[in-house]
């Protein structure tokens, strides 16, 4: 059976399945999600779709075919590049990768815990950065047919390394993707899902400075590097973060990643899904994605875009919005706020379950 058919059936059953005891739901969805992705990566749509040309945006000299592309974590090991290119994505993002391969989190007998909240258009995950490592994945990136759509790669310091090694190998990894001819790099400064807590929260300025000195200042070609922060970032922090990025010569910012503000997001989870939500957040923690992040991502990205106008850094700098982007209207709201590029994850899979490989065609035809 094709991934689109499975996804369509599953969408109809989802509201029922998610009423089962939470432990069963998490166990079924965590393994089912992986089986589904295994099928998806074998599929290439037969009919290519190109978004209307007036939707394309040029940022950093790169032509994005439309203002929306996949978010990090969807294709951790470089899967599905041709698939999303044929579907009509604006660009492709691989990763998040780490220097060493990681198998990701396991707890209560569940590997890579995930739970959907279909009526809330949301989900929780506590994956813990499973990926095949930068050596393997940069080789895969090098082999992708880059003529189709631009390619970015998300990367972060491995949670298995500490101190100097963590940064040294982060930069080594960035060099591998630079050599693999990717078009841009996104640094994940916001993953809530590592067993060691949140080491990337400390010492941000020193880390960014290290990356500036050891990578940004030594780039041998134009290779934009953007930094992705959490959607839990306080709005008041945005100017300081932007000043750091301007000063250290970064090329953009992305707001942002999943949320761990469980109480705050809970109000946006419908009553019937709160038992599952409470179970997941209490047992695994993890990050919340989807519609509950819509307002935060717009507010943070919009604030960053506004600040960008007044800050005028010497480098070309852009703001990306990720979190709860589901519709053309969301993309238009981003644009009104000065945000020209969006990424989506939860919304993409929800739309895929309705329209299969016509996901971008339908998005732009409404």
Ligand X SMILES: Cc1cc2nc3c(=O)[nH]c(=O)nc-3n(C[C@H](O)[C@H](O)[C@H](O)COP(=O)(O)O)c2cc1C
Binding site for ligand X (CB under 6 A): 71-73, 76, 96, 114, 123, 125, 127, 129, 154, 188, 191, 228, 257-258, 289-290, 293, 322-325, 344-347
The CB density around residue 332, as the number of other CB atoms within 10 Å, is 11
Q: Which is nearer to ligand X, 180 or 293 (CB)?
A: 293
Least distance in Å: CB of 293 to ligand X? 5
Least distance in Å: CB of 300 to ligand X? 12
Least distance in Å: CB of 102 to ligand X? 10
Q: Which is nearer to ligand X, 178 or 232 (CB)?
A: 232
How far apart (Å, rounded) are the C-alpha atoms in residues 347 and 341? 15
Q: What is the 3-state secondary structure (H, E, C) of the chain?
A: CCHHHHHHHHHHHHHHHCCCCHHHHHHHHHHHHHHHHHHHCCCCCCCCCCCCHHHCEEECCEEECCCEEECCCCCCCCCCHHHHHHHCCCCEEEEEECCCCECCCEECCEECCEEEEHHHCEEEECCCCCECCHHHHHHHHHHCCCCCCCEEEEECCCCCCCHHHHHHHHHHHHHHHHHCCCCEEEEECCCCCECCECHHHCCHHHHHHHHHHHCHHHCCCCCCEEEEEECCCCHHHHHHHHHHHHHCCCCEEEEEECECCHHHHHCCCCHHHHHHHHHHHHHCCCEEEEHHHHHHHHHHHHHHHHHHHHHCCCCCCEEEEECCCCCHHHHHHHHHCCCCEEEECHHHHHHHHHHHHHHHHHHHHC
Q: Which is nearer to ligand X, 45 or 286 (CB)?
A: 286
Q: Which is nearer to ligand X, 74 or 149 (CB)?
A: 74
Least distance in Å: CB of 348 to ligand X? 7
The CB density around residue 1, as the number of other CB atoms within 10 Å, is 7
Least distance in Å: CB of 114 to ligand X? 6
Q: Which is nearer to ligand X, 30 or 303 (CB)?
A: 30
Q: Which is nearer to ligand X, 254 or 358 (CB)?
A: 254
Least distance in Å: CB of 3 to ligand X? 16
Pick left, alpha or beta for residue 96 (phi over 0 → left; psi -120 to 50 → alpha; otherwise beta). Answer: beta
Strands 341-344 and 68-70 turn out to be parallel
Least distance in Å: CB of 294 to ligand X? 8
Q: Which is nearer to ligand X, 36 or 279 (CB)?
A: 36
Q: Which is nearer to ligand X, 191 or 241 (CB)?
A: 191
Least distance in Å: CB of 220 to ligand X? 26
The CB density around residue 340, as the number of other CB atoms within 10 Å, is 18
Contact (CB, 8 A) for 151 and 81: yes
How far apart (Å, rounded) are the C-alpha atoms in residues 193 and 69? 23
Q: Which is nearer to ligand X, 69 or 305 (CB)?
A: 69
Least distance in Å: CB of 322 to ligand X? 4
Q: Which is nearer to ligand X, 126 or 307 (CB)?
A: 126
- Please identify the residue of the shown chain whose CB is closest to the bound ligand X: 73
Least distance in Å: CB of 261 to ligand X? 13
């Amino acid at each position: 059976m094709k991934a689109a058919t499975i996804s369509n059936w599953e969408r109809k059953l989802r509201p029922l399945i998610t009423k089962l005891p939470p432990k069963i739901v998490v166990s079924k969805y965590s393994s089912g999600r992986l089986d589904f992705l295994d099928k998806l990566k074998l599929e290439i749509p037969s009919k290519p779709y190109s978004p209307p040309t007036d939707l394309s945006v040029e940022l950093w000299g790169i032509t994005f075919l439309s203002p929306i592309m996949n978010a990090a974590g969807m294709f951790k090991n470089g899967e599905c590049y041709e698939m999303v290119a044929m579907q009509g994505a604006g660009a492709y993002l691989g990763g998040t990768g780490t220097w060493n391969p990681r198998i990701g989190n396991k707890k209560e007998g569940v590997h890579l815990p995930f739970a959907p909240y279909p009526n809330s258009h949301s989900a929780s995950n506590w994956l813990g950065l499973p990926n095949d490592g930068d050596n393997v994945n940069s080789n895969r990136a090098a082999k992708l047919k880059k003529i189709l759509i631009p390619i970015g790669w998300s990367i972060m310091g491995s949670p298995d390394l500490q101190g100097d090694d963590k940064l040294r190998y982060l930069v080594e990894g960035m060099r591998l993707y630079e050599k693999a001819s990717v078009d841009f790099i996104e640094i994940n400064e916001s993953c809530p899902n590592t067993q060691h807590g949140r080491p990337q929260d400390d010492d941000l300025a020193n880390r960014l400075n290290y990356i500036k000195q050891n990578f940004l200042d030594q780039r041998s070609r134009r290779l934009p590097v953007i930094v992705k922060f959490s959607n839990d970032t306080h709005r008041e922090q945005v100017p300081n973060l932007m000043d750091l990025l301007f000063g250290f010569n970064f090329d953009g910012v992305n707001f942002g990643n999943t949320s761990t503000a469980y109480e705050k997001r809970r109000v946006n989870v419908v009553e019937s899904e709160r038992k599952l939500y409470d179970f997941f957040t209490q047992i695994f923690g993890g990050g919340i994605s989807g519609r509950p992040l819509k307002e935060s991502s717009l507010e943070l990205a919009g604030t960053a875009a506004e600040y960008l106008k007044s800050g005028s850094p010497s480098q070309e700098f852009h703001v990306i919005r990720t979190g709860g982007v589901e519709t053309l209207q969301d993309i238009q709201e981003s644009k009104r706020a000065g945000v020209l590029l969006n990424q989506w994850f939860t919304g993409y899979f929800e739309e895929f379950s309705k329209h299969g490989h016509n996901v971008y065609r339908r998005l732009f035809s409404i």
